[in-house]
Amino acid sequence: MNFISTRGTEKVTGAQAVVQGIAGDGGLFVPEYFPAVTGEEIVAMCEMDYPERAAFILEKYFGEYGSGELLAACREAYSQFEEGDPAPLLRMDNGMYMLELFHGPTCAFKDLALTVMPYLLQKGCELTGVKEKVLVLAATSGDTGKAALEGFKEKAGVKICVFYPEEGVSKMQKLQMVTTEGDNVNVVAVKGNFDDCQTAVKKIMNSAEKREELKNKGYLLSSANSVNVGRLIPQIVYYFSAYCDLLGSDQIKEGEKVNFAVPTGNFGNILAAYYAKRMGLPVGTLICASNKNCVLTDFFKNGSYNIRRPFFRTMSPSMDILVSSNLERLVFELSGRDAPLTASRMQSLSETGKYSVRAEELKEMKSLFFAGCTNESDTVECIYDFFTDYGYPMDTHTGVAMNVAERFEAMVEEDKDAEKHPTVVVSTASPYKFPQDVLYALTGNDVKDSYKGVKRIHLLTAMKVPEVLKEIRYKPPRFKTVVSCDKIYDEVLKFIS
């Protein structure tokens, strides 16, 4: 399998795409074609455990890695998850299903990819003959940062530097990052929002001059964000896995379609579901759920992507994003894989803050996606009502997804001609990662200390507190640097000096 750029003619192997991170023309790597998964193969996957399912899907994109090594890597990666099941699927009393993706080492869905990605990167370097050390950069709105740090810490030949918005993550997310151990990790707070962090990191990644400077210092530059296909492709797996769990437990019939409701910020998570559909997974509607930063909702409604709007800090900070990087990959597909057109649109976004798609592209988008957004009060009410009715506590991002999913279900129910399918809500983080906001949603009480929030949620819900969050309570912060966006590259140079 080769990968091509969304903006040009560059073509590389899977290993090269993972190592390089971003295409030389600034575009994102996408598979040259979508490998098919047949109905018979989906049935066969029902008998596999999660590592086997992961290796099966990954081999279709990264065949040069070898099936045996991929399976061994997946077994090692997913052995770090609680309860022995990285992505358990639960049937909710409201008739929906909850796909819990927060049982990994950092309690967020990013773990499903970032426990495997270090292997893909290190093996990719071996396959492509890379001799330099690898410098991994990551911008984070909270969850990617800690998952990437945990995945890459103490990995030979790799250093990782994470940048996060100083005031744009939860206290628990910040504590997770700044207490990370390891000699090859660095964490830097940035004055600004996630988009500022992401833009600054992309400028470094896209700068031939900076890449050359780093190479002269013995480092090859790569990315841990979902712009890297090494992050994106492993996320496809849990959509297939959820479907197999439904099929294997006789919740659905073979070939029956399933909807997925995904809380969405940078668009990588729901794009993975779209890729799964393109591979042959029977997907009905992809429900794109946004918070008050509703740039994606507006795009799916009118076909115009416009980031010239107010930015809001919300109780679902991992979705506080206006520039959704992975949307470029979807736009590339909708355009008929027109690389010059995609490049032109991305240039327009950079220069004017907006671009639009054609009427036929908008029509196709609406046939694939349902987009909705929630404000803060609706999110709080959804979390409270769901716990009151069903005894299940959700984090703030999952609350956004459930709110939009329930509205979608109500709309379908009213439409006598609409196809009705089971809906899986993708739960992206543990409630204990956002304890103050979750406690407020459940009780109306504010607490200043995160761990007081953790204790009270536990007393109220009896939900197990993850050991990894307990352990960091009394750890001193290692990283205290705060910089402006224009100083990010200086911090990179300091880190590797």
Report d(CA 170, CA 152) in Å as an integer: 22
Give pLDDT tens digits for 372-403.
Answer: 999 999 999 999 999 999 999 999 999 999 99
Query: In this structure, are strands 158-165 and 133-139 parallel, antiparallel, or unpaired?
Result: parallel
Q: Does residue 115 sit in helix, strand or coil?
A: coil
Report d(CA 44, CA 376) in Å as an integer: 43
Q: Does residue 484 sit in helix, strand or coil?
A: strand
Q: Does residue 280 sit in helix, strand or coil?
A: coil
> CB–CB of 188/165 below 8 Å?
no
CA trace torsion 9, 10, 12, 17 (10° rounding): -120
pLDDT at 206: 92
Give pLDDT tens digits for 59-101.
Answer: 999 999 999 999 999 999 999 998 789 999 999 999 999 999 9
Report d(CA 241, CA 258) in Å as an integer: 12
Q: Which residues contact 92 (CB under 8 A, 6 or more apart)?
A: 98, 390, 392, 425
DSSP 117-165: HHHHHHHHHHHHT--SEEEEEEE-SSHHHHHHHHHHTT-TTEEEEEEEE
* Domain ranges for the chain: 88-106+230-462
The answer as to CATH 3.30.1540.20 being correct for domain 88-106+230-462 is no
pLDDT at 201: 96
pLDDT at 84: 80
pLDDT at 164: 97
- Which of 153, 89, 76 lies closest to 116 in space, CA to CA? 76
Low-confidence ranges of the chain (pLDDT < 70): none
pLDDT at 182: 96
pLDDT at 110: 97
Q: How many CB atoms lie within 10 A of CB 301?
A: 14
pLDDT at 425: 98
Q: Does the predicted model carry a pTM greater than 0.95?
A: yes
Give pLDDT tens digits for 133-186.
Answer: 999 999 999 899 999 999 999 999 999 999 999 999 999 999 999 999 999 999
pLDDT at 9: 82
